Chain A
Amino acid sequence: MEFVFSRHRNLIILLCVLFLQILGLAVQVKRSDSESSRLIRVWAVGAITPFERGAVWMQNSTRNLWHNYFYLRGVRAENRQLKEQIDGMRLEQVRLSQDAEQAHRLQALLGFKEQTIAKTVAAQVIGSSGSDLSRSIYIDKGSDDGIAQDMAVITAGGIVGKVLRVFPSTSLVLMINDQTSGVGAILEKSRLQGVLRGTPDGEVVLDRVMSDEQVAPGETVLSSGGDQIFPKGLPVGTVSKVSPGKDLFLNIKVRPASDLNRLEEVLVVTEKQEREAVATATTGRVRAADILAQRLPSVPDRPEARPQTSTAATGAAGNANGVALNSGPGAAAKPPGSQAKEPASQAVPPRNPPEAPAQNTPN
């Protein structure tokens, strides 16, 4: 026995070490991974991340010094360009805010509950798993900064992933292109829902969309909110390729909205708010369409006392112009004469037909 051991000592030790590691793997698979290997991970992360943090700090300091003090060429031109961009965006903002108000009113009508991002924590990416086979990154914020497991991690471009493990001053983020990740997603136009998954090659695919559905490349993919991690409506990516998959499902490749290979700063959604959609009061901000409607000639006010025949004639005229005077719920409950006392914007719905029901409902 002793002879066998001394002769095959190396091989026996190799088998022992391998056996122990396989045993460890089996324990981790059976039990919760984060619980069974917590301590060794804390040690390893604690040994590695301070160096990464230092490297990031040095890199940022050097870059800031260069960009803020030395390399200022073209700043004037860039400033002018940015100002023009801001002007354009202001106009866009006015349009979008009108759309948002309208959407809020409609949501309130339908009793929707909306989920919004209430609070985020900005974090710097300080490291990665260093492996093509595990797509994850380390950020410089941890439990000391209010980060918890399963929080959504996003950028201005779109979603990045979720917090998988939390350490005191760092966190491990599992990215959406990791093969073990899963995100509830919805196609923007067709409203088809699926599950966004990573592949072993680091690509992102939208799973569980039936093969008889029509999905076009270029369509935007948003988070559906079904996973209870990512708020609904965050950009996920765009469809890059659609091909028949297996088991009656389409194989939809998605190009992530965030550049997952070049992440520097991310936002961790630390607080989400779920509330009933409430139509915002528009007393403070007056829409351009309303002002125009007030100034332009519209249906004249009716006299206080009017013969029955005259009222009927006015109503008929309104309908002839495409004005659904009695179409709104409020309008139906009011006496015919009261409609003339509504603001001018409500009297001229044909100028903006889709907003007509929304105008009447909050009142």
Chain B
Amino acid sequence: MPITYTSGEQIEVYRFSVPVTIMVPLLALILQAFVPLRLPFFSIFDLPLLVTIFFAMARRSPIAGLLTGAVIGLVQDCLTAGPIGVYGISKTVVGFAASSLGAKIDAENAGARFLLTLGFYLLHGIVYFGVTRWLLSLSQSFSWSREILAGLANAALGVGLYFALDKLKQRA
């Protein structure tokens, strides 16, 4: 039963088994690296980010959320040609924000999930842009229209993905 009350004591906290905790992010990273080779448009999606948001909001623990984001982001960084830490920092912030927010509001219905994912996608983009631009001095372009479009696409995919991943949740 979805709970809409904003008290932390009444919002359900979930946990995940160890295989799910490892395999789902790993699968997201593999798909993210493999599918764009065959379907170039798929690179607009950020599956590791969606998985980070899902785990963070389900666990509702800021520390678990930020650590999940940090680990997933750092592994994603390792696959790129750039320095390690850019995705790590972005996803740490998103993981922390998602779990903090998840502990306060109901995020079980599709509409809330859509809006939250869109918001977190934009937050991720802004932090990523900030890190590359001001910490690494890379010439990075930021286009609001592109980010919002990609955010909407990710939010739409995220809603479907979250409902699929809901089946893997276990009550804490």
Contact = CB atoms under 8 A, between A and B. Distances in A.
Interface residues of A, number: 54
B80 A134 contact: yes
Contacts of B88: 21
Contacts, number: 143
The 9 closest A-B pairs by CB, nearest first: A44-B78, A130-B32, A134-B80, A10-B62, A261-B40, A130-B33, A129-B80, A136-B81, A25-B85
Given A29-B136, A130-B76, A132-B44, 8 more contacts: A14-B66, A25-B83, A25-B136, A40-B74, A59-B38, A130-B29, A130-B36, A164-B81
Given A136-B81, A172-B81, A200 B34 contact: no
Nearest to A262: B40
A175 B43 CA distance: 16
27 contacts: A9-B63, A10-B66, A13-B62, A13-B66, A14-B96, A17-B92, A18-B92, A18-B93, A21-B89, A25-B83, A25-B89, A25-B131, A28-B84, A29-B136, A37-B83, A41-B78, A44-B75, A45-B78, A45-B79, A48-B29, A48-B79, A55-B30, A127-B33, A127-B34, A131-B32, A261-B40, A262-B40
B157 to A, nearest CB: 15
B58 interface: no
B79 A133 contact: no
Interface stretch (B11-19, B113-121, B137-145): B137-145
B93 A178 contact: no
B70 interface: yes
A240 interface: no
Contacts of B34: 51-52, 55-56, 126-128
A224 to B, nearest CB: 23
Interface in B106-134: 128, 131-132
B84 A41 contact: yes
A9 B66 CA distance: 13
A200 B139 contact: yes
A33 B66 CA distance: 25
A134 B131 CA distance: 14
Interface residues of B, number: 46
A128 B78 CA distance: 12
Given A22-B89, A200-B139, A134 B33 contact: no
Nearest to B67: A17
A180 interface: yes
A48 B83 contact: no
Among A17, A28, A29: residue with most chain B CB under 10 A: A17
B2 interface: no
Contact of B37 (A9, A51, A125, A134): A125
A157 interface: no
Contact of B84 (A10, A24, A133, A179): A24
A137 interface: yes
Contacts of B74: 21, 40
A28 B29 contact: no
Nearest to A37: B84
